[in-house]
Structure 1
Amino acid sequence: MRAVVVRGFGGPEVLELAEVEVPRPGRGQVRVAVAAAGVNPVDAVTRSGVLAQAGLMAPRAVTGVGWDVAGTVDAVGPGVEGFAPGQRVVGLRDRLDVDLGTYAEQVVLDADALAPAPAGATFAQAATLPLNGLTALQALDLLALPAGSTVLVTGAAGAVGGFTVELAALRGLRVAALAGPEDEELVRALGAEWFVPRTVPDVARAVRESVPGGVDGAVDAALLGVRALGAVRGRGAFVAVAAGSAPTALRGIRVANVWITADGPALARLSALAADGRLTLRVADTLPLEKAADAHHRLEAGHLRGRLVLTP
């Protein structure tokens, strides 16, 4: 079968479409025929070698690429319950130290990393949910704010930020959204009460003009770090969504970093919300597997709304 792998770190040109053996599911595992694989920033930093340089993954001769998957079950290993061949599923591959990622025609995942795909969604739409939806969910869990609290979401028009706004509003949180001026209508439709353009020279001051005293917490999807921390009240909470982007815990603020983990039951809940129309699945574009390098060029150029998706 075909899969995209990396044998040496570098730019998008190091993404290699290779012929590899079809993986076999072991005990507690499921093989998925991949219909769609989301293209995420973590894929680019894996490919570039940034994660290896940071000590987050060991050197490997071959590295698989891709975390998000949507497709159909085509084989199950011993001891698997709840999944059967032909079932539409979504899943998350959360390990870096593997030879095969989701940029492939087939992939094997642990059964507890899978969930039923959202009813009514295309495979491309479904593939935008796992990594970004679970990151948003786990970030809000780390904030642990009660209903009625105020929360700043930076990068609110992006994939993680958009899900965070929607999930926060569903929890009864009052959201201040930081995004591009052209995205105000979008983030308000997602559930934001206040809007702050990312072009303001002083993020903290602008947020505090809307929420005097500062917000109770922040999810920093735009990786602003200390610039966003200033918008949080003393003894509030702050969650960064990428490794190394969490600022120093000033003013007694509780600072955490999301270290994403696959979670099938949580993903199933997100899938149900998407099926009900309470989570918005956004696809920027779809490309064939052999255009993975083009997808990475577009990802790194930025200004995408939704995720690029590869369709093996």
Structure 2
Amino acid sequence: MMRAVVVRSFGGPEVLETVEVPVPETGVGQVRVRVEAAGVNPVDVATRAGALVEIGLAERRDTHGIGWDLAGVVEEVGAGVTGFAPGDRVAGLSDRLDLSLGAYAERIVLDADALALIPDNVTAVQAATLPLNSLTADQALDLLDLSEGQTVLVTGAAGAVGGYAVELAVLRGLRVVAVAGQADEELVRGFGAEFFVPRGAELGSAVRKLVPGGVDGAVDAAVVGGAALTAVRNGGAFVAVLDGVAPRPLRGTRVSNVWIRADGPRLAELAGLAGAGRLSLRVADTLPLDEAAQAHERLGKGGLRGRLVLLP
């Protein structure tokens, strides 16, 4: 048996339950990981509150697993798995919404292609902050499909997704206009942003003063919507990170949503960048698995820089 946090009824942090469940079995092409750290993300709050069921992204179940991000040690590999062996240090992403167990657990079984080896100089706690947010940022930039030297606006640039979007954009040779709170200017410029616009400014006018005609694309990590679109040039590109918040494709813009998917090979590359100091791994704090409710309370209050991490 093992411990896991699950959701049986939707509501506030108090509905999170720590239960004893059987250790999951490893199938063909799968890997069982002993979880050492599990990241706490806004999507976990949406799962707990029932928002994903409400908008039709998940079916109502008796028990919902919770948690997407994890890092730990390979415990067992299933038939047909190559590239992983017991004892390997890995990070992974649990991206399915139809499971009764998520990453908030002592063990998890994932498809092998959702996992990546992590460098020796990256701790499990640090690695558990990487998969969901860095892959979301990376896949958003893929959707923008910009070329080296072009400009990109990143809203919420001090946040987890936004921070990675700035750093990864710079690594792609893009010029970044970062939007964040005034107190975070030094932080986001440290990520490599060339331009800075304080949160609350009229984005269209402020950005176009810095980039005449508007930026070539935007990653809207702060869910600003239409206000961010006004900063994008005619015929540019815009990526929203949440369902139902993408603005209309005015002025010939190409507007899309990023739908995150597990990608072990790319995650391995991102982990390598983190190990080389080219991606920032930010941990706000750690808490025991049994204090998942407290972690959700803290996340709900906002103001965190980095991710909270649960320790099974």
Aligned residues: CA RMSD: 0.6
TM-score (norm 1): 0.99
- State the Cα deviation string for residues 227-272 of structure 1 (Å, max 9, x = none): 1000000000000111112111110000010000000111011011
How far apart are the structure 2 equivalents of 1:109 and 1:204?
43
The alignment partner of 2:17 has SS state of strand
Partner of residue 304, structure 1: 304
Matches within 5 A, 1:1-312: 1-200=2-201, 202-312=202-312
Structure 2 letter corresponding to 1:283: V
- The superposition leaves residues 129-171 of structure 1 with CA deviations (integer Å, 9 ceiling, x where unpaired) of 0000100000000000000000000000000000000000000
Q: How far apart, CA to CA, are the structure 2 residues paired with 1:267 and 1:104?
A: 21
Q: Structure 2: how far apart are the matches of 1:161 and 1:195?
A: 13
SS of equivalent to 1:125: helix
Give the Cα separation in 2 of the matches to 1:195 and 1:236.
20
Q: Is the 8 A contact 1:118 1:126 kept in 2?
A: no
Cα distance in 1 between the residues matched to 2:207 and 2:120: 37
SS in structure 2 at match of 1:5: strand
Q: CA deviation at 1:119?
A: 3.0
Instruction: Tell me the secondary structure at the aligned position of residue 207 of structure 1.
Output: helix
Letter in 2 for 1:228: A
CA–CA separation in structure 1 for the residues paired with 2:61 and 2:204: 42
Instruction: Provide the C-alpha distance between the structure 1 equivalents of 2:191 and 2:126, rounded to a whole number of angstroms.
Output: 17
Contact 1:133 1:160 in 2 (8 A): yes
Deviations 1:274-297 (A, max 9, x none): 111100000000000010000001
Q: Which amino acid aligns with 1:113?
A: A
Identity %: 68
CA contact (8 A) 1:90 1:130 kept: yes
Task: Please tell me the residue identity of whatever aligns with 2:300.
Answer: E
Q: Structure 1 runs of 4+ off > 3 angstroms?
A: none
**For residue 60 of structure 2, what is the amino acid of its counterpart?**
P
How much has 1:199 moved relative to structure 2? 2.6
CA separation of 1:232 and 1:48: change in aligned 2, threshold 3 A: same
Q: Report Cα offsets for 1:14-60 as digits up to 9, x if no partner.
A: 00000011001100000000000000000000110111000000010
Encode CA deviations 1:93-121: one digit per residue, 9 max, x unaligned: 00011000000000000000000013301
Conserved 8 A contact 1:128-1:283: yes
Count of aligned pairs: 311
Q: In 1, distance between residues paired with 2:120 and 2:214?
A: 39
- Report SS of the residue matched to 2:297: helix
Shift of 1:205: 1.1
CA distance in 2, matches of 1:285, 1:170: 28
One-letter identity of the residue aligned with 1:154 = T
**Do 1:52 and 1:59's aligned partners in 2 also have CA atoms closer than 8 Å?**
yes
Unmatched 5+ stretches in structure 1: none
Displacement after TM superposition at 1:64 (Å): 0.3
